[in-house]
Amino acid sequence: VSTELPILCTAFLGALFYAGPVSLGHCSPRLSVGVFAQHRPRCPEDWNEIDPIKKKDLHHSNGEEKAQSMETLPPGKVRWPDFNQEAYVGGTMVRSGQDPYARNKFNQVESDKLRMDRAIPDTRHDQCQRKQWRVDLPPTSVVITFHNEARSALLRTVVSVLKKSPPHLIKEIILVDDYSNDPEDGALLGKIEKVRVLRNDRREGLMRSRVRGADAAQAKVLTFLDSHCECNEHWLEPLLERVAEDRTRVVSPIIDVINMDNFQYVGASADLKGGFDWNLVFKWDYMTPEQRRSRQGNPVAPIKTPMIAGGLFVMDKFYFEELGKYDMMMDVWGGENLEISFRVWQCGGSLEIIPCSRVGHVFRKQHPYTFPGGSGTVFARNTRRAAEVWMDEYKNFYYAAVPSARNVPYGNIQSRLELRKKLSCKPFKWYLENVYPELRVPDHQDIAFGALQQGTNCLDTLGHFADGVVGVYECHNAGGNQEWALTKEKSVKHMDLCLTVVDRAPGSLIKLQGCRENDSRQKWEQIEGNSKLRHVGSNLCLDSRTAKSGGLSVEVCGPEGPGGPAVLSPAPLGGVW
């Protein structure tokens, strides 16, 4: 469904693809009492519960890391079970009468109720639970950036990394505090084993903060996580194994969903890949039926993905540096996953989603922090930088879908263009043909591409798919559900669906159906002189006057009514072609 916050809600779309809740099972996680934690019988997923003989087998080829994991803690450090959760979280809890969503745009009351090491369901495929991972995997530095994060969520992220990972594979956890209001949000966590805290002396945003953490990292492999995550069983080993085999791989877990209202942990579908529309907003794509069939023999094989969500991934540190880190001229948040995905693929690397790795993430409907100049402007600036550097002539489709972006300055991109030349990167045409052939490329002979507009409202799919009706919604200039092409074959097309007249009589509803080249119910043309869309077979026009009664219909073509045009017409495309 269209949204008034099309950019901020993008990540939340992942919640549409739940695989369904999974039972938590029964176990007694740790309980913190007083200054130091007292212990109850613990959940079997805790690395410390694994049989010592099995540990020895896992460590036998990595004696140095094993020895380090057994060293005495430095002065002032505590192991995570001994960290006082109550003291850390208590002073920042939501008071009676306060809005639990106000600070973080998720239910902080529910978050604060949870133990720092709460039990979560193992959402992996059964085959993952029987897999054996290499014993010579490299350790990683985990980089977590945050700004005014809820302490309970941040603490659970850190603890889940330590609890769900073999100790010898975690070199360190680097927390980059991006100038939070309270410096102690991060500083107090610096008491936990392996945790280092870096604090920016001004707000830098996600990209520059991550680069600072990566530059400080001591391990040869980087793991980037958001600050409201929970790692699942054996999440790390399958990621490290893929990078150890090929340093040009950038790998991501399947991102499970932590409900923002009740914090239930829900397994996500394993049939998804990252993608985008021409508005350059990230979305999840289902694999094609052919792709799903090809995976039936090995459902846990790595999934090649055109794009990663950006919040959670593992990458060789030196490859990260060789490839140009992040675009340091991007601000705050947004567009960085687009840019790094294009760069990895076009410059010789690959992106994968690893089904045997699962990490939960809190998906929110909006950001809890501010953007200088507004979130839309910042996102457009960042996205323009990515488009201008990596998309070649195909950037014009972005400007057709989001014409307002042309008015947003994007700064100097010379150094990024030089980087592309230095790395001998492939053209965007190669990316579309070899990495993302599922993305429909508008034909240059199409009559129009963009929005179909009536006043301040636009033709919108309303989130419907095949056999769903269409309607109108306030124009948001972000493409997505309002992105259409009037093709040379006379179809009005959204992705692989076309506007279809159900009956050839006035009042007939219009539905979305699979495009068929010779289907007369899908043939439309513009009336010369007024741009009204007329259905060829019935000589009736697309009419928005019925939009409030359950969908758009076709009616007798007539003059515009007193309330404005009664039909939708293609919006100006800015001379793209």
| Sign of the CA dihedral running 77, 81, 84, 90 | positive
Q: What is the pLDDT of residue 60?
A: 42
CATH topology of domain 448-570: Trefoil (Acidic Fibroblast Growth Factor, subunit A) (2.80.10)
Q: Name the residue among 284, 282, 264 with its Cα closest to residue 362.
A: 264
Rounded distance between C-alpha atoms, residue 473 and residue 4, angstroms: 9
- CB 527, CB 534: distance < 8 Å: yes
Q: What is the pLDDT of residue 39?
A: 31
CA 524 vs CA 135, 444, 508, 532: distances in Å: 62, 18, 15, 10
**Alpha helix segments (H runs only) across 336-413:** 336-346, 375-390, 395-401
Those residues of the chain that have pLDDT short of 50 are 1-69, 561-577
Q: In 10 A of CB 432, how many CB atoms?
A: 17
- CB 484, CB 447: distance < 8 Å: no
Rounded distance between C-alpha atoms, residue 57 and residue 52, angstroms: 9
List Cβ<8 Å contacts ≥24 apart for 521-529: 522/490, 522/491, 522/492, 522/498, 523/490, 523/491, 524/486, 524/490, 524/491, 524/492, 524/499, 525/490, 526/447, 526/486, 526/569, 526/570, 527/557
Q: What is the pLDDT of residue 464?
A: 87
**Six-digit token string for 552:** 């758009």
Q: What is the pLDDT of residue 547?
A: 64
Rounded distance between C-alpha atoms, residue 117 and residue 337, angstroms: 29
Q: What is the pLDDT of residue 368?
A: 73
- State the CATH class of domain 11-20+28-362: alpha beta
Domain 11-20+28-362 matches domain 448-570 at the CATH topology level: no
Helix axis angle, 414-422 to 375-390, nearest 10°: 40
Domain boundary assignment for the chain: 11-20+28-362, 448-570
**Six-digit token string for 409:** 């300055």
Rounded distance between C-alpha atoms, residue 419 and residue 89, angstroms: 44
Q: What is the pLDDT of residue 147?
A: 96
**What value, to the nearest 5°, has the Cα angle with vertex 124 and ends 274 and 288?**
35
Q: What is the pLDDT of residue 574?
A: 28
